[in-house]
Amino acid sequence: MPNPAAHEGNPSRRRVLRGLVAGVATLLGCSSRGEAGDGGTVAKLDCPHEAWRKTLTPAAYAVLFEEDTERPFSSPLEKEKRAGTYVCAACALPLFDAKTKFDSGTGWPSFWAPIEGHVGTSTDFKLIYPRTEYHCARCGGHQGHVFDDGPKPTGKRYCNNGVALAFVPAGDALPELRACPA
Ligand SMILES: [Zn+2]
């Protein structure tokens, strides 16, 4: 004899599943809106990291593509205070507006927010405890680490290697996005 409860249970499980699918879709929607920022998306540059050796200094290559860290107080950009834009030293994607720069006293250029959608993050365990590494959303070049001890309004501190950035003063044209070095 069939169990009526089992038959009643099926539609209910389907409703739950439909609810879950809708919930996941909502989460994905929120997440992609967050990354896209103003509606644009950064197309990834599918370029083997080695190719950037041709156009970068050894120091910049070591930071961007071997996740090296420059010596503190070694970058002239640490003291840069002019209005303008900081772009990726490899592919020239704008990463930070100078309006978000602050003097952290750490010896590295520091910002409280990147240009929305222009950096990606991952967790690294190089110093045993987990840190959040961030990189250029376009070429994948490593920029620095983000910490939770920054100033208002975000409370974040994007601690950036100066050698991984190029500064474009306000009024100067931003450089064209670079293609993969041939
Ligand atoms: Zn880049």
DSSP for 94-112 reads EEEEGGGEE--SSSS-EES
- What is the dihedral angle through the alpha carbons of 126, 115, 44, 76, rounded to the nearest 10 degrees? -60
Average pLDDT of span 42-51: 94
The yes-or-no verdict on residue 14 having pLDDT over 80 is: no
| Distance between Cα 127 and ligand 1 center (Å) | 25
User: Which one-letter DSSP state was computed for residue 75?
Assistant: -
| Distance between Cα 26 and ligand 1 center (Å) | 30
| Distance between Cα 153 and ligand 1 center (Å) | 26
Q: What is the pLDDT of residue 71?
A: 97
CA distance 27 to 29: 5
Q: What is the pLDDT of residue 126?
A: 82
Q: What is the pLDDT of residue 22?
A: 42
The yes-or-no verdict on residue 34 having pLDDT over 90 is: no
Q: What is the pLDDT of residue 40?
A: 56
- Least confident stretch, 29-38, 91-100, 124-133: 29-38
**Ligand 1 ion: nearby residues, β-carbon < 5 Å:** 88, 90-91, 93, 136, 138-139, 141
CA distance 96 to 103: 14
Q: In 23-109, where do the E strands start and end? A: 84-88, 94-97, 101-102
Q: What is the pLDDT of residue 124?
A: 87
| Distance between Cα 30 and ligand 1 center (Å) | 25
Q: Which two tokens stand for residue 3?
A: 């169990």
| Distance between Cα 174 and ligand 1 center (Å) | 14
Point out the catalytic residue in the list 30, 139, 159, 180.
Answer: 159
The yes-or-no verdict on residue 69 having pLDDT over 50 is: yes
CA distance 107 to 57: 21
159 given a catalytic annotation? yes
